[in-house]
Amino acid sequence: MTKGILNKINLMWVAIIVVLYLLLSYMMAAGIINSYYKITLFNMCINIMLAVSLNLVIGICGQFSLGHAGFMCIGAYSAGIITKMMPNYAGLILGILVGFVISTIAALIVSIPTLRLKGDYLAIATLGFSEIIRILVQNMKITNGAAGLSGIPALTTWPLLMLGVVLTIVICSNFTRSAPGRACIAVREDEIAAEAMGINTTKYKVIAFVIGALLASAAGALFACNFYVIKPTQFTFNKSIDILVMVVFGGMGSMTSSVLAAIAIGLLNMVLQNFTDARMIIYGAILVIMMIFKPQGLFGDREISLSKIVDKAKAKKEAN
């Protein structure tokens, strides 16, 4: 089965993704998904990228980070500023790359001292970092301060978003199912035992944190080029919590769960659009009920695995 990258399972995944992409594209062209639903769909895609990447840090590596909105903010502003000067795809790519560089530097600066902290302490440190980024952006000239950037070219298209989502999931799941990923899971499970296995725990925490930051920054860039306007208030503590809710709601440690939770919460938001005040109450109530009855999340740590489905089908065939 694992002869190389072109094995049956991977080809099946490619086929599924292509079919899904064509189906949704057709529905958009035919007007089944109207422009209102389209906004929801685009939002969902960006949220999937954010949730899956945060899941890598929290669910896989066990490092409780509340700084995801900070990295998203870096990506959004890098792309926003550069695409305003170069309103084409070269500008967007350059913007994403600049976002990557800044996010990596920021992630390293934050993570090397703070990842020694555990649990709540790390959460507070990353929260502080994310607020620093927001305040910086709010007070810099180049970012146009509290008024925010407007007139960002709408470069985020449906194929681009789909590509972003697929790449994010592929990167995270490939990483998880490899030696460095196993090391991260070992760190989550038992840090002392992980060290005793020869794992440099700080190194793997930093790797997971940086990958998470890069993907959040890419999501931020797509976010900026989707909405025409970005403001510092979009990247507050609340945004980090929104993403965290998706990860916890779905089930920590599972990519599938994060994707499904991002979709479910996207739909929920759409349905509750007209009840802005009630929305937060319902949202909170759902979370409280979840934590009481299903603290492991809606889907737990289960993953959709084609290879398992194929194996089961084969076993059934043989049994017949």
Partner 1 sequence: MEPILEVKNLTRNFGGLAAVSNVSMQIMPGELIGLIGPNGAGKTTLFNLLTGVYEPSEGLIEMQVDGKPKQIGGMKPYKITNLGVARTFQNIRLFKSMTVLENVEVAMQRNIQYGTMSAILRLPKFYSEERWIKEKAIEYLKDVGLYQKRNELATNLPYGEQRRLEIARALAIQPKILYLDEPAAGMNPQETADLTKLIHEIREKYHLTIILIEHDMSLVMNICERIYVLDYGKMIANGNPEEIKNNEFVIKAYLGEEI
Q: Which residues of the chain form contacts with partner 1 (CB under 8 A)?
A: 2-5, 170-171, 174-175, 178-183, 185-186, 189-190, 192-201, 207, 211, 253, 301
The nearest distance, CB 76 to partner 1, in angstroms, is 24
**Residue 115 or 183: which CB sits closer to partner 1?**
183
218 DSSP β-pair partners: none
| Closest listed residue to residue 66, CA positions, set 126, 11, 133, 120 | 126
| Closest listed residue to residue 115, CA positions, set 7, 228, 213 | 213
**Residue 218 or 230: which CB sits closer to partner 1?**
218
The nearest distance, CB 306 to partner 1, in angstroms, is 15
3-state helix, strand, coil in the chain (%, to 5): 75, 0, 20
The nearest distance, CB 2 to partner 1, in angstroms, is 6
The nearest distance, CB 233 to partner 1, in angstroms, is 34
**Residue 195 or 286: which CB sits closer to partner 1?**
195
Do the Cβ atoms of 117 and 191 come closer than 8 Å? no
Do the Cβ atoms of 163 and 17 come closer than 8 Å? no
Cα 31 to its chain centre, rounded Å, is 28
**Residue 73 or 214: which CB sits closer to partner 1?**
214
Tokens encoding 201 = 């725990």
The nearest distance, CB 75 to partner 1, in angstroms, is 19
**Residue 123 or 207: which CB sits closer to partner 1?**
207
Per DSSP, 149 falls in state B
